[in-house]
Amino acid sequence: MQLLDGKVLSAEIKQEIAAEVAQIREQGGKIPHLVAILVGNAGRSETYVASKMKSCEEVGMHSTLIRFDDDVTETQLLDAVQDVNTNPDMDGLIVQLPLPKHINPDRVMETIDPAKDVDGFHPINIGRMAKGLPAYVSATPQGVLEMLKRYGIETAGKHCVVVGRSQIVGLPMSILMQRNTYPGNCTVTLTHSRTQNLADICRSADILVAALGKPEFVTADMVKEGAVVIDVGLEKVPDVSKKSGFALKGDVKFDEVAPRTSYITPVPGGVGLMTICSLMQNTLKAARGEVY
């Protein structure tokens, strides 16, 4: 079993991005600028966005955080998105999800200029990705592809089972893994909460992507010997043995699953770190006008 080490890979990628930004700076070019809109301060959004902004700083990019209270109206939020769309200094825009219930997230995503949609959530980017055209790809699936590529994992002809059909991870992951390119060319099964015989299907996976958001859901009996296991989950669960009172768990019961695998991502220290790298790679592409 080999660990797919997000710490090592993300440090490597950050260095590459920092070197590219330094070169842009030396040549007097446009420094990439990522803007994040955060509404309220509920859940883990605050931490996620802070970490995105800090990573930009670390690689020498510009970043701006625009904050709104929970009671912001949809119109106010859409106006803020339009302001970023029309600001030539701002290259990439993310609106952190989830949004309060009175705001329609689809309307917000569809208002972002597809050329600045570095999260890859706009239907135009999803459609272009599905067609294999240049597009911004959702950061987590893109991070998974980067991991498979950098570890040189063979994917062609393999059975890839994705557990979870979220718009952000499961669905794009399944589309990407079936494309006629590397990493890809897999036979893909996209499973979800209504799937029958889920354990059997998982056991037939050469590459298993767990992205359902249920701590330690995937157990050893659901994994084929020698499979590649990618754990996208990250949840806080109570743990009295820890000083903080909680532990971070993925969707895979790591200790019992790991010995059966050829490669597996740890949690934390796996896919999560790759997600932020993808976002910065996309922002760099946006500043250079590489996608549109």
Element of type H or E holding 38: strand 33-39
Between 167 and 195, CB nearer to ligand GUN: 167
Indicate the burial class of 169 (C-beta count within 10 angstroms; 0-12, 13-18, 19 or more). Answer: buried
Amino acid symbol at 87: N
Between 168 and 223, CB nearer to ligand GUN: 168
Catalytic residues: 52, 96, 119
What is the C-alpha end-to-end distance of the chain, expressed in Å?
Answer: 40
Among residues 80, 124, 137, 139, which is the contact residue for ligand GUN, using CB under 6 A? 139
119 to 138, contacts with ligand GUN by CB under 6 A? 119
Q: Does 94 bind ligand GUN (CB under 6 A)?
A: yes
For ligand GUN, the nearest residue by Cβ is 97
Between 3 and 248, CB nearer to ligand GUN: 248
Residue 132's region, left for phi above 0, alpha for psi from -120 to 50, else beta, is left
Residue 175 CB, nearest distance to ligand GUN (Å)?
A: 16
Q: Does 212 bind ligand GUN (CB under 6 A)?
A: no
Residue 14 CB, nearest distance to ligand GUN (Å)?
A: 17
Stretch that binds ligand GUN, among 7-15, 93-101, 217-225, 266-274 (CB under 6 A): 93-101
Stretch that binds ligand GUN, among 95-103, 129-137, 213-221, 251-259 (CB under 6 A): 95-103
Among residues 18, 78, 97, 247, which is the contact residue for ligand GUN, using CB under 6 A? 97
Q: Does 220 bind ligand GUN (CB under 6 A)?
A: no
Tokens representing residue 190 in the block: 């996209």
Among residues 10, 55, 63, 96, which is the contact residue for ligand GUN, using CB under 6 A? 96
CA distance linking residue 153 with residue 145, whole number of Å? 10
Answer whether 120's CB lies under 8 Å from 136's CB.
yes
Answer whether 248's CB lies under 8 Å from 235's CB.
yes
Q: Does 66 bind ligand GUN (CB under 6 A)?
A: no
Among residues 9, 103, 145, 168, which is the contact residue for ligand GUN, using CB under 6 A? 168
Residue 165 assigned ligand-binding role:
yes
Between 72 and 94, CB nearer to ligand GUN: 94
CA distance linking residue 145 with residue 25, whole number of Å? 29
List the strands of the sheet with 187-191, edge to edge.
2-3, 263-264, 228-231, 207-210, 159-163, 187-191
CA distance linking residue 74 with residue 102, whole number of Å? 8
Residue 44 CB, nearest distance to ligand GUN (Å)?
A: 8
Residue 139 CB, nearest distance to ligand GUN (Å)?
A: 5
Q: Does 95 bind ligand GUN (CB under 6 A)?
A: yes
Stretch that binds ligand GUN, among 19-27, 89-97, 189-197, 221-229 (CB under 6 A): 89-97
Residue bearing tokens 């059909």: 165
Q: What are phi and psi of 88, to 5 degrees?
A: -65, -15
Q: What residues have CB less than 8 Å from 108, skipping those under 6 apart?
A: 74, 77, 78, 81, 95, 99
Q: Which residues bind ligand GUN (CB under 6 A)?
A: 94-97, 119, 139, 168
**Residues that constitute the known binding site for NADP(+):** 164-166
